[in-house]
Every structure is written in C-alpha cells, then in structure tokens.
Amino acid sequence: MAYVLDFAEIDRTRIASVGGKGANLGELSRIDGVRVPDGFCVTTEAFRRVLAELPAVDIRLDELASLMPDDRTRISELSAEIRRAIAESVIPADIAADVVDAYTRLGADAACAVRSSATAEDLPTASFAGQQDSYLNVIGARAILEHVGRCWASLFTERAVTYRQRNGFGHRAIDMAVVVQRMVFPWAAGILVTADPVTSDRKVVSIDAGFGLGEALVSGLVNADVYRVRDGVVTDRTIAAKKLAVEADPAGGTRTREIAPERQHEQVLTDAQIVRLARLGRGIEAHFGCPQDIEWCSDDEDFHIVQSRPITTLFPIPEAEDDDSHVYLSVGHQQMMTDAMKPLGLSVWQLTSPAPMRDAGGRLFVDVTRALSSPTARQALVEGFSGSDPLSGDALRTVVDRGFVPTVPDPSPATAPAAAPALIDADPALVAELIADSEKSLAALKNDIEAESGTAVLDFIAADIQGELRRILFNVRSQQAIRAGMESAGWLNDRLRTSLGEPNAADVLTRSVPGNVTAEMGLALLDVADAIRPHPEVVDYLRQVPDTGVDGQRFLDELTQRPGGQAARTALDAFLDRYGMRCVGEIDITRPRWSEHPAALVPTILANIANFAPGAAEQRFTDGLRAADQKTHDVLERLRDLPDGDSKATETQAMIDRLRTFAGYREYPKYGMVSRYFVYKKALLREAAQLVRAGVLADPEDIFYLRFDELREVVHTQRADHGLLRERKRLFHAYQSLTPPRVLTSDGEVISGTYRRTDLPPSALPGMPVSAGTVEGRARVVSDIAQADLTPGDILVTAYTDPSWTPLFVTISGLVTEVGGLMTHGAVIAREYGLPAVVGMENATGRIRDGQRIRVHGSEGYVEILPEP
C-alpha cells in the first residue's frame, strides 16, 4: 500500500486516497498553463493505520456519533480527547520514512505548506472549507512529521465534528490525507472565484488581491482589493487600504508586517494582470466543469495556483435546450414550499402541471423568457406578481429594465387574447357540485388502482394525473369559482375603501366562510383535543411520545391501551380519515403524511389541550361568523346613507354573496390533489415493497430518489442503479442547505427584488399586507413545525406555511412569513381566523430573533421590532 503519492501520480479519481484538496492539486498539475508548486500527499492509508492502533479513539467515535450537533460541551470534550490521542501517538517508522524521502525530493530543508485534505473536503457539494488545519513555511523533516500529525488531529476539532454532524457525514466515513507542498514566497496573493460571490452571476470573475501571503486575506486579517471581470474586461475595481501583510518568517512559520503608507492604497494587480488571472481561472473552471474558488499567488516569475475547490453555495442553473438568455421564476415561492424536493416528488409535480417546468437544486422553476419578451405579456406578468408577490414582481421588473431579454412584437389584434368573462353569480350549488365531482372521482381512483400492479400501476397513475387530476384541477367552472372569490374580495376592498374609507373590509367579510377545508382542519384538531382532554392517562402518554421516528400504527395501537385511549383513537382516526393525506410540504409526494406519521400531530394536540377550553372550535367559528355578519350589516347601512345608496348596497351585497360563496372553495382543489397524491403514493410504495422483496432495492423509500419514468424502468427491468441512488441522496442532502431564489437567470445570477416604499417608519421591516389589523406580541421564530412551542398571543415568524401549519393558527395572534402572497395559504387562513399578517418579508427568520417583542401592521404591511423592556 502507498503511504505517499507525488502530485504527478494523482488525479481527481484519487479522492479516497488523498482527499479532496490533494486530488484537486494533482488534477491542477495536469492542466497546461497552470503552475502548481511541487508537492506530495500523505495518503489516507497512513491515517487509517495510525487510528487502528488507537482503540481509545474508536470508543470515543462511537459516543460522538450518538450526540446531537447542539451538545457542544460533550462534543468539545470528546473531540479534544481524540485530538490529544492522535497528537501523542508515534508515527510508524515506515510511514515516517516514506514522508521524509518525499520531502527530501523537494530539496534539503525546503520550506513547505502542510495542509489537511479530508475525503469529504473540496467536493462539488461540500467544501468543508476551513474545517481542518493548515500550516505555512514548515521547514525540516522533523517539523514536517509533527505537522502531519497535527493535520490528522484537526479532523476532530470541535468545528469540524459539528460541521460533519450538521451535514450528515459520519465521522468514520471520512479519512484524512495531508498535502505537503513547496512554499511560494509571493509579493501578492489572493482568491479568485469564477462566479460573482454576491449575485452568483457565472459570467463574472471576482478577484481579491493583497500583498504578501494569501493567509492574511483568508483569515480576514486585512482588507483586499476586489476586481470584477466580465467577458475579459475589468468592469469594477475597489482599491482597499492594505495596512498589513503576512510573510514567511526565515525561522519558520509566518509573521505580520506593516505596509509602507505610500503603498497602502496602491492597486495590487494591473488591469492586464487581472485579465490574465481571470482567464486562468476560466481555464481551471472549464477543466473541472463547475465554478471554482481558487487560491493564487504571484512571485517574480508568474501566477501560481495553490488550491482550487468547487463553489458549493451557488444555486444550480436549470438546464436549457439552447444557449439563449433565459429567466426562471420559482414555483416553490408561489406554492409555499421552498424546501428541496426529492426526484420522485419533482417529477410527479411536473406531470401534474400543464406549464413546462425545469428543476434545479431540488426545486422547480418556470421559464418566463417568452412572456418577458412580449410587451403585453411582460406587463401582465410583472404587474400580476407586483400584486401577488412584490419581491418576485420587482425582480422581474429589474430583469426587464436591464434589457436582459430581447423584445419581440406582440401578436396582431386578431390573435390577441380575449377579455376575461364576467364574474359568475353566487351559486352554492356549483361549489357542492364541484366538490361532489372530485370526491366521486377520488373514490373511483381508490377502487380502480387496487387492481393494478407492476408497470401497469405507473401507467395507470400517469394516465390519471394527466387525465382525471388535470380535468378536476383545471375545470373551467372551478376556475370561474376561484376567480369570483378572488376578484370579489378585490372589488370590495377597493370600493369600500373609496366609498366609506373602510380598509381591507374583505378580511373580516371572509371570516368563517363555508367550505374552507383548510380552516375547518385547524378547528377539527381542536375537537380532537376536546375528545382527549378528559383522559389524563392518554394526555400523559402523548407527552412521552417523540414527534419523530415513531411508527404510526404502533403509536395508535399503544394509544388504545390507555384508559380513554379508544375514545382518543376514534377521534384521531376520524381526523385522519378526513385530513390524513396532509403534511408539511404536501406537494412533494415523498413527504410523510399524517396518516403515516400521526405522532407529528401530538405537539399541536397537547398545545390545544393546554391553551383552549372545551368547545373552542365551535366558539371560534361562531365568533368569526358573527364578525362577518356585523361587518356586512355595517357597510350596507353606511352605503345606503350615500347618494344612490340603495343601488350601491345592492351591488355590494351581491359581491359579498359571491365572496362568501366562493372564497372557501379556493382551498379545495389543492386538498383534492394531495388526496390523490396519497393514493398514488400508497400504490407506489406497494410496488417498492415488492422491489425490496425481490432484492432490487434495499429500502422502499429508495424509490423517492428516482424520477417517475426511472421508477417505471426499474419496475420493468427489476434492476436498479445503486450508484445513482447514492448520488441522488447525496445531492438531495446538499440541496437542502441551499436557499432558492425567486428569480434566476441563465447566467446564474440571483435577482433579488425589493420593496420600493417610502411610506414606512425608518426602522420598519417591509413586507406585504395580507390580513388587516395590528398586534403586538412575542415573536416565535419556527423552522420546524414539530418544534413549535407556542402559547396564546405569540406571533409566528417562519419561512412559509402550507395547509399543514393551519392547526397552529388557532393559538397565535399574528403571522410573519418570508414567502407568500395575497391568496396563498398563510394569508387566506390568517384572514379566516382574524389574524394580522405580513408575508413576503425577506429573511424574516434572520432579522427577527426568537423571543423579541414585535408589532405586526397587517393593514400597512410592515413589522416593527419593539425596544427591550
């Protein structure tokens, strides 16, 4: 086995032996025109042998694996013990001899950089930058061996251990190699990234440059010049005051010196050097096939490259069929689901939607390039989103203003789209008919799919999605009903504001509307709490149930063994029969449904038991109905006092009737869709179980990492590509840490919209007003619904809400979200429950701290953070 490999023996395929950094350096040394200082790698074989001779480390690794990432005290203790054991060990003589021989080939007493190179470092989806240690200007064989040991030990620094645990990397799954590389003593050094670090634009190269060693920049010790290059032209340069430089100490190590005052404001690189370095970076990027983060330095001879790693924080660009400019609009921001989706979930959603969608980073996007190229369609798109999601609307406007998309003439008047038809009249029978049609179709689906197996199941599902599901979702009369509810709300808000000075009247008029299946769900869980509350043994059992990792059937079976458990089970079963197909992120068919994981409901049930009196559901509905009736009476009476008042009141009454007839129905089509999704999922999991029994798959949920057509092929051939499954799982994990943009260009640039408002207090956090009223309270910043700890009066602050969050709305007094619009879930339910709400607030969960007191202005669309008492 090889304990040492020279760079010439290494390429990108040797990650398992030399780690990510070592493999990249070996690969860099093979690129024509790229100068890489000579060096070698101490391989992972050496590291594994050293650890094998330290049984105490093995014991501590077992304990580390059992800890949560937040247990910082014990992680710190155990990682220190592991580092100490490695540092105090003696490097075996044969390994030491190989290292010394390789060092001697670099030259007697050569000054070297000694750097860690873990097998999960500098990878396309996980950089691990800065997680392990590096040492500069190490001189002498004994010092080299000592620093190799230090690098091995640095795999177990507290920060490295915590990073691995948070990112799903097992400690035993990662080995450590060490890079030993001849030092360059540069006059300038820095960092080059082949994409704009702020906007992610792949057409821009950004270069940071400073005097001396690059360590000063990497560590943040000094400011750097920053240059930007686009298409071979320097487009921007910021010249920093560079007061310090880090340089090699003749005795070994480094030292810091002051730069002469007359040189502190000098531009480090000339424009010609900047362009040449950018061209070098583009060549490295082309070789590796993805944007790179490159460390460079320059001596009197040339530029040298001392490291290159993939940039792992960039959001991927959707694939296009041509090289033209494209603009992509996020689907997740409109669907209130910005989390990463697994491949099966993405492909089922793509089958469902008639609009062509492209996936990137585990999210879906619509290509709006064609719409933006037409003056008429462009105006409609931008204005539409300016009203429903102002940040997306402003981002689209920015794209248009830049001229990123060429304009093409509008179609002739003869082919222009027809005007929208008049609103339909209030007709409760239509709503009942639409719901009955959906429920009848669902019952037929449940019956018919049972007869199918093998590839026939997938063919049946594909036909049902593109036939029956689309027929129901895009039924013309259904769309008319939804439009009538939405436009009547807008009409009432506009007219009553103008006629009576009454702002946001529709918010109250939509309280307790009939048939809102999502609002009814939140109240239904209050009824479940009423059924459980009289049984203390059941309540005690629920308090002991973890909200994750509990088998659904076992949970229900154990529930019935407690006194009162059967009554509780009956109530919970009735809830699950009606709503069990729902869950967080429900548009992703792979997500665990409440029927599969009923313990997910336990925290909300317990909160309802603690915070509400019996009969709260009926009382809340009655209160909402009374408020809506009173508001109707008030506005009609005030209208009748105006000139032509009777006519105005009659017209307004008709709009209120439309609103209350159709507003609740808007939530039903999605409920019907996820009901069908759950039927599909159960059928697919039956096939997955068969694949497991046949030895084709290891786990039924492996199918979630296949696209729908790929799954059909696996069922057909009874063969699966396990390498593909492993790669898909790795990518999904990486995608979970990415923040999806609202708008993304084919250059990779993330276009961020802003609220262009001048009517707000200086310290206000702007958003979109979606539910009237003002409320003060304690902010509870919640990222995981299962961890929500809410008490009455709290204000929920979160990234987004979908229907699964509705049960929490009965407790809170206000809502703030990062994603949303006027007719998205959080807004609709906030109005239904009478909660002031502001949505679309950029980075709300970062700008508002958990526990802070805030004031939500739901009518004006902003939030104030209140002074600490």
The model's pLDDT over 443-486, given as tens digits with 9 standing for 90+, comes to 999 999 999 999 999 999 999 999 999 999 999 999 999 999 99
Mean pLDDT in residue range 604-610: 93
Provide the pLDDT confidence category of residue 129 given band limits of 50, 70 and 90. Answer: very low
Task: Check residue 413 and give left, alpha or beta (phi > 0: left; psi -120 to 50: alpha).
Answer: alpha
- Kindly indicate the confidence band of residue 58, based on its pLDDT and cuts at 50, 70 and 90: confident
What span, in angstroms and rounded, lies between the C-alpha atoms of 841 and 383?
19
pLDDT at 60: 82
Residues linked to residue 295 through DSSP beta bridges, in sequence order: 191, 307
* Helix-strand-coil split of the chain, %, nearest 5: 50, 15, 35
Q: At 464, which helix (H) or strand (E)?
A: helix 455-464
**Hey, which residues does 838 pair with through a beta bridge?**
769, 816
- Tell whether the model's pLDDT for residue 570 goes beyond 60: yes
In this predicted structure, what is the pLDDT of residue 85? 86
| Burial class of residue 401 in the structure, from the number of CB atoms within 10 Å of its CB (0-12 exposed, 13-18 middle, 19+ buried) | exposed
Q: Is the pLDDT of residue 621 over 50?
A: yes
Is residue 327 helix, strand or coil?
strand
Query: What pLDDT, on the 0 to 100 scale, is given for residue 662?
Result: 97
Residue scoring higher pLDDT (242 or 325): 325
Residue 64 has pLDDT above 90, yes or no: no
Q: Report which of 826, 728, 739, 798 is spatially closest to residue 345, judged by C-alpha positions.
A: 728
User: Measured between alpha carbons, how far is 818 from 666 in angstroms, rounded to an integer?
Assistant: 22
Q: How many CA atoms lie within 13 A of 827 on its CB side?
A: 30
Name 297's bridge partners: 189, 304
Give per-residue pLDDT as tens, 83-119.
888 888 889 999 999 999 999 999 888 999 999 998 8
What pLDDT does residue 126 have?
Answer: 47
Rounded to whole angstroms, the maximal C-alpha distance in the chain is: 102
| Residue 52, C-beta contacts closer than 8 angstroms, at least 6 positions apart | none
Instruction: Please say if the pLDDT value at position 505 is more than 60.
Output: yes
Of 35-49, 168-182, 558-572, least confident by mean pLDDT is 168-182
Structure tokens at 491: 């009409």
First-to-last CA distance in the chain?
66
pLDDT at 122: 47
Sequence-separated (6 or more) residues with CB below 8 Å from residue 8 = 26, 29
In this predicted structure, which of 41-50, 128-137, 486-495, 721-730 has the lowest mean pLDDT?
A: 128-137
Band (130; pLDDT cuts 50, 70, 90): very low
Q: Looking at the whole model, is its pTM more than 0.85? A: yes
The answer to whether 33 touches 25, Cβ cutoff 8 Å, is: no
Please give the residue that has the higher pLDDT: either 57 or 668.
668
For residues 415-419, average pLDDT: 57
Tokens standing for residue 256 = 């810091």
**pLDDT beyond 50 at 413:** yes
Q: Residue 333, class by beta-carbon neighbours within 10 Å (0-12 exposed, 13-18 middle, 19+ buried)?
A: buried
Q: What is the mean pLDDT of residues 30-46?
A: 95
Distance CA 780, CA 852 (A): 8
Looking at this protein, which amino acid is placed at residue 679?
A: V
Burial class (CB in 10 A: 0-12, 13-18, 19+), 81: middle
Q: What is the mean pLDDT of residues 792-803?
A: 93
Q: List Cα–Cα distances, 534 to 14, 29, 48, 564, 608, in angstroms.
A: 64, 73, 59, 8, 13
CA atoms within 13 A on the CB side of 628: 23
What residues are paired with 225 via a beta bridge? Answer: 209
Question: From CA 338, how far away is CA 585, in angstroms rounded?
Answer: 9
> Phi and psi at residue 221, in whole multiples of 5°?
-70, -35
The chain-wide mean pLDDT, for the chain, equals 91
813, 777 contact by CB (below 8 A): yes
Phi, psi of 466 (to 5 degrees): -85, -10
Least confident among 167-181, 300-314, 664-678, 805-819: 167-181
What does the pLDDT look like over 767-780, one tens digit per residue?
A: 999 999 999 999 99
Residue 116 in contact with residue 104, Cβ under 8 Å?
A: no
* pLDDT tens-digit readout, 295-320: 999 997 789 999 999 998 899 999 99
Q: Which residues are catalytic?
A: 825
Tell me the mean pLDDT in the region 625-634.
96
Tokens of 560: 């019935």
Residue position matching structure tokens 């599969």: 596
Query: Is residue 858 a contact partner of residue 773, using CB atoms and an 8 Å limit?
Result: yes
Q: Are strands 188-193 and 111-118 parallel, antiparallel or unpaired?
A: unpaired
**pLDDT score of 368:** 95
Predicted pLDDT at 697:
97
Q: Which pLDDT does position 252 carry in this prediction?
A: 80
Question: What's the pLDDT at 128?
Answer: 44
pLDDT tier at 173 (50, 70, 90 boundaries)?
Answer: low
Q: With a cut of 50, say whether residue 74 has pLDDT above it.
A: yes
Contacts (Cβ under 8 Å, ≥6 apart) of 414 = none
* pLDDT for the residue 242: 83
CA pair distance 528, 542, nearest whole angstrom: 13
DSSP letter for 212, please.
Answer: B
**What is the mean predicted confidence (pLDDT) over 72-91?**
85
Alpha carbons 89 and 667: distance in angstroms, whole number: 65
Range scoring the smallest mean pLDDT among 153-167, 194-208, 310-324, 377-391: 153-167
